[in-house]
Structure 1
């Protein structure tokens, strides 16, 4: 990751180490203070870019984490080879709300502008739009976890 505000020809990137194997996805949160990454080790890692600390590790996926994104309320959303979508309600949450039953690997996920639906893509050639019960106010999401 480069500091683009102070980028020069001699700048070196900040290395974010932690995943074992390939990193498949990265995403910034809206204010740019955090980054999430998903990898072939089945973990989601939350990096606080304002601190030099190691990332917080979120576990749960059985297999690759294909896609990560930030959703409503700075929630963390990740999709996996295991056919699940996992939503951590806030960047401090440790337990996700897990959606299953897709019968296919979930390749990508995007929250709708109204934050009530998620759009997912799958390895069976489908895209699906579905209502997201865990995309509401933080208190409601935490009650589901």
Structure 2
């Protein structure tokens, strides 16, 4: 984070507080090399649609600035429905978006998947291009600790 006087504070999560003199242009440039993680934990169609819109709009926003932004949509809890081949109402937009944005990835919480499979007594198929991560919320935190921005859809 850049303060009003142009100093940045890094290392707070690691327990260290290091102040460095950094111009805002350098700090902005650093942020452009990271990514954005979008968490979806709802199976409401309009919320799932927001995750798709956010992904497309962010990719375009940064492309217009000449920057390539990594984007990962993480589905957790009821939000796993977005990447379920048997339930998602958005299969076509998801596939099309993923094909058009190579810097976009989809992750589903394996823990939420196991819980849903046990509750529904079915094996849940994933859409093409979706990956499993052990814990969706853990994935979000891991990415934030690496400097990724967080958006809750």
Same structural fold, with TM-score higher than 0.5 when normalized by the shorter chain: no
Give the TM-score of the pair, scaled to structure 1: 0.26
Asked which structure has the greater CA Rg, the reply is 2
Please state which structure has a larger fraction of its residues in strand: 1
Please state which structure has a larger fraction of its residues in helix: 2
Give the TM-score of the pair, scaled to structure 2: 0.25
